[in-house]
Structure 1
Amino acid sequence: MSLMLTSNQAHGMNYAEAAREIAARLAVGNDDIAAAGALQLAIEAWKCLAGTDLAWDRYGLELLDVRARLYSDHDDVVVDAGAPVRDNAETRLAVTTLLEQLARYHDRLAADDGDDLAGRLSHDAGAQQLRRAVAALV
């Protein structure tokens, strides 16, 4: 499934624009498709920029574990956006802002009494891992 960011959004937006748009969607509520899109976009940055700095490797390990535990049923979500082309301040800001918002999303799920204890703990652990990924890049 392709994640449509907005109905009037042009296809192929750049990476930073897509990251900002998805972060905004996550900020307004519990949107599991936007969350899966955020993780997919964050992993795309790792795939493109790994090898430029060891920080991206530490970042990627955290994301891959979160994906395996919390997003295994969302493999079909794809964000139509350009890949990041260079490791610079704009890219890192877009990625870290996106992941901070995704961590807040998981914090909200961890606090939701509608989920069982194991699910809440898993979301809490995911939020912590996302924050470690952010810390690796700053």
Structure 2
Amino acid sequence: MRSTSNPVFRNLQPQQGGYAGFGSAPGAGQFPSNPYGQQPQYPGYQQPYQPAVPTTRPMTIDDVVQKTGITLGVVTLTAILSYALTSANHGLAVLFLAVGGLGGFALAMIMTFGRKQDNPALVLSYAALEG
């Protein structure tokens, strides 16, 4: 694997199998080697490590399309709302520009350096500020 100096890509955990997972733990999805589920009945036997059942599933194209559509919808709605408000009162344009620009920059820095790229609240807040 190639290394990078980009702080966003440097902090990502390497994925196995070519699928993106949402917060899956290393070793998730592995099953015990005893296919019959029987435990030996002798003294001193210790139960082998049983990994947790994975709580996530691989990300699909439908997931990407749905999340992109929701984010684009938030950007569009806030852009329409801000246009409607600033067309009636031109004094609000500078305020909206400053809040949207500085707030969007601040959220981008938080998501980049705070390793919170997959936080839905931050992503939708960023989309609203950019709108």
Question: Which one has a bigger Cα radius of gyration?
Answer: 2
TM-score by length of 1: 0.27
TM-score normalized by the length of structure 2: 0.28
- Give the structure with the larger helix fraction: 1
Bigger relative contact order, structure 1 or 2 (CA pairs below 8 A, ≥6 apart)? 1
